[in-house]
Structure 1
Amino acid sequence: MVHLHDSRETSASARGPAEAARAVHLTKVYGEGETKVVALDAVSVAFRQSEFTAIMGPSGSGKSTLMHCVAGLDAVTHGSAYIGDTDLTKLGDKELTHLRRDKVGFVFQAFNLLPTLNALENITLPMDIAGRTPDRRWMEAVIESVGLSGRLHHRPGQLSGGQQQRVAVARALAARPEVVFADEPTGNLDSRAGAEVLGFLRNSVRDLGQTVVMVTHDPVAASYASRVIFLADGRIADEMHQPTAEAVLDRMKRFDAAGRTS
């Protein structure tokens, strides 16, 4: 594994644990009147640099909404969302587009690869669009970390689902974003391919100093993170460090039991 020194680590260590992203009293409301739904209710949470955080909760708890708001994909109703020191609620559409392109990486359940481009072209596409030249050493480290060195000239149709998601992970990491947001990244994969992708995300934190925030419903996936945030009814309900799949599953069962008795 290639280890690279990242200048962000030096500045972060000088200041203490720095925050790659955070929500401050973040509220998200959909609809009005009788159709009003409060998806997030004054949520405050920070995602520290070089940390792998999973967001979990029952269906409808607001976990994907939280990620979308903090990532700048969805507008905030009240409160603030930050990437680094930038308040997303103060940005216009064009500024938001540039921030997402330059500072945020995304991995979704659907791989979102262009079928006419090979793996390497898909990885570098966001930087090509932005007119940026990839950092060669960083690219080599990313490609090695996701095990794609022998597949760079294959198109998506020539790759397995797990390999396609590796390309998506590499694309998210390639521009050295402040934070990578992953929304159910193993949802379309079998258990073996899913474990590989989760391992690559964890390695990107450990070996490349990346920050990863992942929404998942899977306790096994959450166990790859170093920290789990639990949401229920649009609020932070619990937090777990160094989780195991068994401990996460037990916590989720208690949410289910509370839901049945409420």
Structure 2
Amino acid sequence: MSDTSSRTATVTGRHAADATPVASARALTKVYGSGDAAVHALAGVDVDFTRGEFTAIMGPSGSGKSTLMHCMAALDTPTSGTVVVDGVDVSTLKDAALTRLRRDRIGFVFQSFNLVPTLSAAENITLPLDIAGRKADVGWYDTVVDILGLGPRLGHRPNQLSGGQQQRVAAARALIGRPAIVFADEPTGNLDSRSSAEVLGFLRRSVDEFGQSIVMVTHEPSAAAYADRVVFCADGRLVDEMRRPTAERVLDRMKTLGDL
């Protein structure tokens, strides 16, 4: 079966998405600098991310896609507008509550892995729970480790792992606490094609089988093709979206945005 046929079969039988947004933004703006030097990274964005769906964000360099994700993930503070994550208005939270939100309801997968070099793979996976003083659900831990093929590597430190293995550890860490939503920022940017497919396949499976909600920033049409939906940014705004994307359709749309 071809990759496209396999993905189509998977999506057709996937976990049903909940129509309720797991995260949303209204009139979201982000301005860097002031006066003539002001840069409007986001210029009034309205967006909903549906619970139980895999959404990719794409756009040319400087389009605002990473800024949008960082504001949605409570990693950056918008200049104005509202962000709601899992029913919580992020703008109303004090520092301690914001830290708890990021720790308990949001998972992160970054291009640079962000693993702690002195910890083993197993310790990196459970780190968010350890910080929160919570125990990992043993069944869920075993499921994630098994799906990602990390069992033989749990005792290894990051410098003993390949880039693909490190990113799989990072993906496991993002999901171990069963967050409401996972944000992935160019998660395959440092990986070869095989490792990329392994990581993206796991993210796809976590949506299909476990109802996870994922928002991924990527510049790769082949990566975006794993998503249910692609939203396109240009000049700090959302300018289009695509359902059931293919790499070819995404590539054609990106060409019109001037990215290629």
TM-score, normalised by the number of residues in structure 2: 0.91
Q: Is the 8 A contact 1:145 1:204 kept in 2?
A: no
1:78: Cα distance to partner?
A: 1.1
- Tell me by how many angstroms 1:149 deviates: 1.9
SS in 1 for 2:241: strand
Q: What is the alpha-carbon distance in structure 1 between the residues aligned to residue 229 and residue 147 of structure 2?
A: 22
User: What is the one-letter code of the residue matched to 2:198?
Assistant: E
Task: Give matches, 1:13-92, under 5 Å.
Answer: 17-92=19-94
Aligned residue for 1:174?
Answer: 176
Q: Could you say what the CA RMSD is over the residues aligned between the two structures, in angstroms?
A: 1.5
Match of 2:118 in 1: 116
Contact 2:86 2:105 in 1 (8 A): no
Q: How does 1:134-213 map to 2 (within 5 A)?
A: 134-213=136-215
In the alignment, which residue of structure 2 is the partner of 1:5?
none
| 8 Å Cα contact 1:112-1:168 kept in structure 2 | yes
**2-structure distance, mates of 1:142, 1:23:** 30
Quote the Cα distance in structure 2 between the aligned partners of 1:18 and 1:136: 29
SS in 1 for 2:203: helix
Q: How far 1:145 sits from its partner (Å)?
A: 2.1
Q: Give distance in 2, aligned partners of 1:102 and 1:43.
A: 26
TM-score by length of 1: 0.91
The residue identity in structure 2 corresponding to 1:207 is E
In the TM superposition, structure 1's runs of 4+ consecutive aligned residues that sit over 3 Å from their partners are none
Determine the C-alpha separation between the residues in 2 that align with 1:122 and 1:28: 32
Is the contact made by 1:28 and 1:38 (CA closer than 8 Å) also made in structure 2? yes
SS in 1 for 2:143: helix
Is the 2:28–2:81 Cα contact (8 Å) retained in structure 1?
A: yes
**Residue 220 in structure 1 maps to residue 240 in structure 2:** no
1:128 to 106, 130, 140: 130
Tell me, in whole angstroms, the C-alpha distance in 2 between the residues paired with 1:160 and 1:131: 30
User: Is there any run of 5+ residues in structure 1 with no aligned partner, and where?
Assistant: 1-8
Shift of 1:38: 0.8
Distance 1:229 1:104 in 2: 20
The CA deviation at 1:80 is 0.3
- The alpha-carbon deviation at position 154 of structure 1 amounts to 1.6
CA contact (8 A) 1:54 1:215 kept: yes
* Mapped contact 1:53–1:225 kept (Cα < 8 A): yes
Tell me the residue number matched to 1:6.
Answer: none
Q: Give CA deviations for 1:138-175 in whole Å, capped at 9, x if unaligned.
A: 11221122221222112212211100100000000000
Which whole-Å CA distance do the structure 2 matches of 1:142 and 1:198 have between them? 14
Distance in 1 separating the partners of 2:96 and 2:35: 31
Distance in 2 between residues matched to 1:118 and 1:189, nearest whole Å: 21
Q: 2:238 aligns with which of 230, 236, 239?
A: 236
Q: Is the 8 A contact 1:145 1:203 kept in 2?
A: no
Aligned residue for 1:47, secondary structure, equals: strand
Return 5+ residue gaps in structure 2 as ranges: 1-14
How far 1:204 sits from its partner (Å)?
0.9
